Every structure is written in C-alpha cells, then in structure tokens.
C-alpha cells in the first residue's frame, strides 16, 4: 500500500484517535494486504455501554463516532471505499442500525434496544447491510440493499444474519432462525440443520451454495459443519459445547475457530483444519474470544481479544503466531477483520 493511499484513507475518515505509527511517516514501500478492523474504544471495561465506534486501518485508529456512543460490528472494503456496519445509541439503551461509508454515517432503522447491523458487503457499487431490529422485544432479520429493505423475517428469539455474499447479482445470507442454522436467498429462508445450530459463513461458486457453521450432537458436544445447499457434507465433533464457530474455506480445506467455555470458566478458542486441531489461541490460562477468521495468501488470520478483568488486548494470530494490536491501556475491543 502506497503512502498516498494511506493519506487518502486518513483524510476520508477524519482525525485519528491514536497511531502506533505517524500516518505522515509510513514507509512508502509498505505492501498490501491492507488490514481493516471494526470495533470500539471504551473508558473502563469492554462490556460497558459507554463505547465509541472505531475503524482501524493497518495500525491507525479512526474515530467513527467521536461524540456519541456507538459500536462497529463488521467491516468490508471494495476498491477505495470502506464500509462499516454497527449501531449508534440514541436515548436510554436504544440503538439504531447504522453503517459508515468512508466515515459518513447512514441510519437504516429506528431506535430500539439491541438494534444493530450484523454483516456488511459491497459489490459493483451496491451496499448490502444485514441487521437485527426489535419490535415488542422480538427480533426481526433485515437486509438493506443501498438503503432499501429487501428481507423481513422474524420474529423468534435466537435469530440473526451472520454473513452475506453475492453471486451473479443475487444475494445469499447465512445465520440462525429460531436457534437453527438457516440460509436466505432473496426473500426465501431455509433451515439447513436442526436446532441448536448456526451458520456463520456462506460462499457461492458455480451456482453451488457452501455454508459453514456448527450443529449440536448431544448434551456434551457440538460439531463443526459444512452444508452444500441444504445437504450436510462435513461434520466433525469437537468435544465441547460452543458459543459459536467461525469458519472459512481455502481450496478443499475447511477452517474453523471454536469459542467455548472451559471447566474453569475461561473463554477458550481452538483452530481446526478439517478434522485436525491445529492450535489453541488460549495460552497460560488466558481467556480468549475469537472474533473473525479469514485466509489471505494461504495464511490463516484470526482476530480475537484476550480478556482480563474487564480489559481487552486485541490480538491477531497469523498461522497461530499472536501479535498484540493494542495494549490493555489502549482500551480497544475489536469485533471483525477484513483483509483487502
């Protein structure tokens, strides 16, 4: 990535909160890929409502909501444009579904408790934002394309859209409906696994829909799963119940990172390729929550947060090797990673 591209991004998004490097002194020979992270800064504890949405481009922190509490949940980049989905607080505990394009905020919903964007995607100048909106305390799943509502499903608990992809001009969504892994194509929703289960990744190639996530096996274990269309084609029990499984695909290999709670009560994250356990993100008794997995240039990148007494150390693992992106003192929590 060249110097002028970094400066253009900084100008588009406004002032930087903090920089590990001075944006004016970034080496001109800095190479792609470009790393984008969505998250928030906080004052005392990462679980507090008082948070400010941020976008991190490489290692520069950019304020998205400097004067109003907000959370950035998901990020996607296309060309020179960067899109971030999340929520912004209004009065009380109410939030509106929002997204930022190059730092400019747009609102997609009214205000209710827990309204938020959950996935974002852009292609050929079109912006796809999935989210959850609450009416009478019941969740409804939404998809907006260029601000126009296209999907309206609900309203059962444990429902939401986790991932978006576009193929041949049509959108495909993956998530959970009534605690069961589900996919959406246009206005049609299909359940692909019995509850409890969830789909967190979707990919379409040559018209075939590949979806990844997890499904319950029994009271003691869940399994990483892959579905082609509505047919299960892969299942691997991981020996524990999970809070979620994040997934991606690389060629003929399936990659999963599982989030679960140990017997001692800490967050544990483990990484698998197909049926092989590759490594564990938690070391020395640390509590780790994995947030995102992606593969770029055949390297496996996992974003997570090391958690300790309300503090967070956002960390990027590259093929299992951790690199702290911020310190506990920076008070940053990161939700999502996109690599361009």
List the CATH code of the domain at 64-326: 2.120.10.30
Q: pLDDT of 9-19, one tens digit each?
A: 443 444 344 33
Residues 189-204: tens digit of each pLDDT: 999 999 999 999 999 9
pLDDT at site 22: 34
Q: pLDDT for 264-317, tens place per residue?
A: 899 999 999 999 999 999 878 899 999 999 999 999 999 999 999 999 999 999
- Flag residues of the chain having pLDDT under 70: 1-31
| Beta-carbon contacts of residue 314 (< 8 Å; ≥ 6 apart) | 37, 39, 303, 304, 305, 324, 325, 326, 332, 333, 334
Nearest one of 96, 100, 118, 120 to 108, comparing CA atoms: 96
Q: Where are the domains of the chain?
A: 64-326
pLDDT at 31: 59
- C-alpha 103/C-alpha 130 separation (Å) is 19
Instruction: Provide the 8-state DSSP code for 64.
Output: S
The answer to whether the beta carbons of residues 70 and 117 sit under 8 Å apart is no
């Amino acid at each position: 990535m060249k110097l002028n591209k970094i400066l253009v991004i900084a100008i588009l998004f406004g002032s930087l909160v903090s920089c590990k490097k001075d944006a004016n002194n970034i080496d001109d020979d800095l190479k792609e890929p470009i790393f984008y992270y969505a998250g928030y800064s906080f004052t005392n504890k990462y679980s507090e409502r008082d948070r400010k949405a941020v976008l991190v481009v490489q290692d520069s922190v950019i304020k998205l909501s400097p004067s109003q509490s907000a959370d950035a949940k998901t990020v996607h980049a296309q060309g020179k444009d960067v899109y971030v989905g999340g929520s912004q607080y209004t009065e009380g505990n109410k939030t509106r579904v929002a997204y930022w394009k190059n730092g400019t905020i747009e609102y997609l919903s009214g205000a209710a408790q827990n309204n938020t964007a959950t996935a974002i995607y852009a292609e050929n100048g079109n912006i796809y934002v999935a989210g959850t909106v609450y009416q009478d305390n019941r969740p409804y799943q939404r998809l907006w394309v260029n601000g126009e509502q296209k999907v309206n499903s609900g309203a059962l608990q444990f429902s939401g859209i986790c991932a978006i992809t576009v193929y041949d001009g049509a959108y495909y969504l993956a998530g959970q409906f009534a605690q069961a892994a589900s996919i959406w194509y246009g206005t049609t929703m299909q359940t692909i696994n019995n509850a409890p289960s969830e789909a967190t990744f979707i990919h379409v190639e040559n018209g075939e829909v590949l979806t990844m996530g997890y499904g319950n096996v029994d009271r003691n274990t869940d399994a990483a799963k892959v579905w082609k269309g509505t047919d299960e084609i892969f299942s691997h029990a991981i020996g524990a119940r999970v809070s979620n499984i994040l997934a991606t695909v690389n060629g003929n290999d399936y990659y999963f990172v599982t989030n679960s709670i140990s017997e001692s009560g800490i967050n544990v994250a483990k990484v698998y390729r197909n049926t092989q356990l590759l490594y564990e993100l938690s070391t020395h008794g640390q509590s780790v929550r994995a947030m995102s997995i992606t593969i770029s240039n055949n390297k496996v990148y996992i974003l997570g947060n090391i958690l300790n007494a309300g503090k967070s150390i956002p960390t990027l693992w590259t093929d299992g090797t951790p690199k702290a992106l911020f310190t506990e003192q920076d008070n940053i929590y990161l939700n999502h990673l996109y690599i361009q």
